Chain A
Amino acid sequence: MAFNILVADDSGTMRAVIKKTVEMSGVPVGRFFDAENGQEALGILENNWIDVILSDINMPVMGGMELLQEVNRNEDFRRIPLIFITTESSEARMDEARRLGVAGYVKKPFMPETIKKMLYEVLEKAYQHKAEEAPAAPADDDMDF
């Protein structure tokens, strides 16, 4: 079973790096979707089946915290786990994200292994039946670029 993954970040290069990191993690990917901000992400959610969202916090138009709130407000979307990949690294911001129900939190700068580990944890928790069909996570040393 492959997962559809939505990557929301206003930096195109960062989105490319995150997608490459996910591809190399061994997680089976059906399709990637790109959004430059939270509002674009919501539009994609309205029209596509998404299994997990990887989002920045600090974005123009609509930031990641607001996106998380909107996802949680919507009955159709609240099943979708959201992982923040962000420079916002204060304890206060992470506490706020946890209160809003974020599934995972990765600080930039990140090691590829950190994203892989977080993604597997979140996917296994959210989609245990699917994850069991997926290949086991490769060893960390398989993540070299």
Chain B
Amino acid sequence: MDEELRETIDQTFGEVFETMFFTFLDPMEELPSRAELVLDDAYVEAVIAYHGPRPGRFFLYLPYRLARNITMNFLGVDEDGVSDEQALDTAKETANMAVGSLLGRLDPEGTLKLHIPESRMMDGLPADELLANPGLRLFNTDFGLLWVVYEG
């Protein structure tokens, strides 16, 4: 991943989480080894693609507890007031906002068009596969690691 893209990912994802969810992201400068990782049992995957001269897509993997927490903060409700459907919707909207903002900076001419995001619940995470992906960016949060994978 080139430096400009990495910095723009850090900025745009950080702005979305801070502005909309009052959650701070701390980018990890070095990837941890598989042995150092403590994985959650459940995750929410959100995917958003874009097409144009340089098509690509982003995958977000949020620990379920992080997805629930940002949904609580987004809606201004307590934990009992958050459904799984809302957590999935918030994950989709997170991908939409972060990647839309990112494309606005990297593609001011607007040649790249966003698709509609999708999301799903996942039991566990294919950590080995993700750690080997050159498009991986990891962020520490108070509710586990946020995984962002760029494919382009």
By a beta-carbon cutoff of 8 Å, the part of chain A in contact with chain B is: 10-14, 16-17, 20, 58-60, 86-93, 96, 107-111, 145
Contact (Cβ within 8 A) B86 A86: no
How does the 8 Å CB contact mask read for B82-97 relative to A, with 1 for contact and 0 for none? 0000100110110011
Cβ-neighbour of B97 out of A91, A93, A96, A108 (below 8 A): A108
Say yes or no: A58-B114 contact (C-beta < 8 A), given A13-B89, A90-B107, A145-B76: yes
Contact (Cβ within 8 A) B103 A90: yes
Cα of A52 to Cα of B111 in the assembled complex, Å: 30
By a beta-carbon cutoff of 8 Å, the part of chain B in contact with chain A is: 15-16, 19-20, 71, 74-76, 86, 89-90, 92-93, 96-97, 99-101, 103-105, 107-111, 114, 116
Give the residues in chain A near B71, CB-CB below 8 Å: 13
Cα of A90 to Cα of B109 in the assembled complex, Å: 6
Give the residues in chain A near B105, CB-CB below 8 Å: 89
Cβ-neighbour of A90 out of B15, B86, B90, B104 (below 8 A): B104
Give the residues in chain B near A16, CB-CB below 8 Å: 75
Say yes or no: A109-B104 contact (C-beta < 8 A), given A13-B75, A13-B90: no
Cα of A43 to Cα of B114 in the assembled complex, Å: 25
Cβ-neighbour of B104 out of A17, A60, A107 (below 8 A): A107
Contact (Cβ within 8 A) A11 B89: yes
Contact (Cβ within 8 A) B100 A86: yes
The smallest C-beta distance from A81 to any residue of chain B, in angstroms, reads: 23
Give the residues in chain A near B109, CB-CB below 8 Å: 90-92
Give the residues in chain B near A58, CB-CB below 8 Å: 96, 100, 114, 116
Task: Kindly name the residue among A13, A58, A92, A107 whose own CB sees the greatest number of chain B CB atoms within 10 A.
Answer: A13
| Closest B residue to A17 using CB positions | B74
Contact (Cβ within 8 A) B108 A90: yes
Give the residues in chain B near A59, CB-CB below 8 Å: 116
Contact (Cβ within 8 A) B19 A109: yes
The smallest C-beta distance from A45 to any residue of chain B, in angstroms, reads: 23
Contact (Cβ within 8 A) B19 A88: no
The smallest C-beta distance from A37 to any residue of chain B, in angstroms, reads: 10
Cβ-neighbour of A89 out of B20, B90, B101, B111 (below 8 A): B101
| Closest A residue to B12 using CB positions | A109
